Structure 1
Amino acid sequence: MTKKVDLWLVNLDLSADKIEELAHILSADEKARAERFYFQQHRHRYIVARGTLRRILGHYLAIAPNRIEFEYSSRGKPKLAQSFGANGMQFNLSHSQDLALYGFARDRAIGVDLEYIRPITDAQTIAQRFFSARESAIIDALPESERLMAFFRGWTAKEAYLKATGDGLAGSLDRVEVSLAPNEPMRLLAIDGDVQAAARWHLHAIAPATNYVATVAVEGQSNSQLTIRNWQLS
């Protein structure tokens, strides 16, 4: 059985007028959080990311974006408040540099992680600390020109799963083992050593834009029909 997963890409670099427009639809607590960012650039990216989330959810739910209410897990993962929960909409978002990625699915958990590909001089050291021994060995065995991409593929895959479960980075990356061998489809191999638990999830590796890599984690053993589109802010 195939289930639909919608992915939306959003450019976070907007004009001052557009940023102000999106700020007006944020809740009081979102506005307060925005004000806590020290750098204006980070504050603006947060406003655009959260304002756009409200716009997209408003599109799906057919209600005004400022009427949407959220609840948060103990680790801060947002979800629709119980009053909106009957439609089964699950979502997650990630942003890096000037790009944001949003994932939406119904009646099953979803996590997304997006990373801008940039040089990391200690990528192998980080992998040895946060990846499994098998994952680190695969990265070490790759030609130097392929190691950085393998690192980011592994990182986004682990993060996407942990975000889907609501753990985020608080859930240690080495709990999650993923496939990193060249030409092997991205998939979860084990969660805390449990192969059966990993089999209950699907991973989808995507290249959403030049110099970006992302992974989508979706709960369930059925395949997912992914649709990737650009959200145009009107």
Structure 2
Amino acid sequence: MPVRARPDWEVLLAPDEAARAEAIPGGGRRNLFVTSRAAQRLIACQYTGRPARRVRVERTCDRCGADHGRPRIVGAGYDYSVAHTRRRVLIGVVARGLVGVDLDTVPEPGVPERLVARTATPDERTALSQLPPHELPEAFTRLWSRKEAAVKLTGHGLAARLDRIGVRGELALPQGDPAEDWPLSQVHLMDVRVEGHVAAIASTQRITELTARSLPAPATAATTTD
């Protein structure tokens, strides 16, 4: 969904989220925060029937206990993941297993060359080096997006060593010994088409079909009863 000013969505935020939104100066950052947090609550309302403001979102990190972990709706019976750029928010939901999503824009030429050493495995670096220069930015971004989706699924996030995670076809697999605490033997991957962006979905169960869903009207979500 596009990021834009959504003042009618601010009523859906929990008190702590509303306070955070109020503290962000008006503009892109505030629009992004409100769009992302309210959309997560609208989706929870759609799946659970709970009022959006009463949904309990748990963000405790399984690795360190801080409040920056992958989001979970307590008692919802589904898993979801959120990704965003400055212009768009992507939310993936699965009924079984775990999911991670990532959304990126293709960088300017020259950027991939600076990042590839700490992002790609040796085999991946070789494959990227053989591409024509004009194909490298998108190919690198697609590789990056797949890996980011995988580490968001596992909860590693920014702490992950992406150069120790290999992408082979539709799977993400640990390489060498990242398996320090890598919890899964494999992660399934799927590329997603999002206008103007490169996106990927990672899942613990192979996804065979994607369905785009619209969000309910904010007024309906705000007044739904338990």
Same fold (TM over 0.5): yes
Unaligned runs of 5+ in 2: 62-67, 219-226
Alpha-carbon distance between aligned partners in 2 of 1:135 and 1:79, rounded to the nearest angstrom: 33
Distance 1:194 1:148 in 2: 26
SS in 2 for 1:108: coil
Q: Which whole-Å CA distance do the structure 1 matches of 2:110 and 2:17 have between them?
A: 35
What is the aligned partner in structure 1 of residue 2 from structure 2?
11
- Aligned runs of 1:56-205 on 2, under 5 Å? 56-74=43-61, 75-81=68-74, 84-85=75-76, 88-179=77-168, 185-191=169-175, 200-205=186-191
Residue 49 of structure 1 is matched in structure 2 by 36
1:121-155 per-position Cα deviation (integer Å, ceiling 9, x unaligned): 23112011222121111111111111111111111
Distance 2:204 2:160 in 1: 17
Cα distance in 2, alignment partners of residues 61 and 232 from structure 1: 13
Q: How big is the shift at 1:36? A: 4.6
Question: Judging changes above 3 Å, is the alpha-carbon distance between structure 1 residues 21 and 38 closer, same or farther for their aligned structure 2 residues?
Answer: closer
The corresponding residue for 1:219 is 204
**1:192: how far off?**
5.0
Contact 2:46 2:216 in 1 (8 A): no
Match status 1:206 vs 2:199 = no
Higher alpha-carbon deviation: 143-152 or 113-122: 113-122
CA distance in 2, matches of 1:33, 1:147: 39
User: Partner residue of 2:65?
Assistant: none
Q: Is the Cα–Cα contact under 8 Å of residues 94 and 112 in structure 1 kept in the other structure?
A: yes
Superposition TM-score, scaled by structure 2 size:
0.82
Extract unaligned runs of 5+ from structure 1: 1-9, 180-184
- Name the amino acid aligned to 1:11: P
User: What's the TM-score once normalised by structure 1's chain length?
Assistant: 0.80
Q: Percent identity?
A: 26
1:228 matched residue in structure 2: 212
Secondary structure of residue in 2 paired with 1:24: helix
- In the other structure, the counterpart of 1:5 is none
Instruction: Say whether the 8 Å CA contact 1:188–1:198 is kept in structure 2.
Output: no
> Which of 13, 16, 23 is 2:10 aligned to?
23
Q: Deviations over 1:178-234 (max 9, x none)?
A: 13xxxxx44324355589x7653210011211x2110000013x4432223454756
Residues 90 and 228 from structure 1, CA distance in 2 versus in 1: closer, same or farther, beyond 3 angstroms? Answer: same
More strand by share: 1
Shift of 1:166: 1.4
Q: Residue type matched to 1:44 in 2? A: N
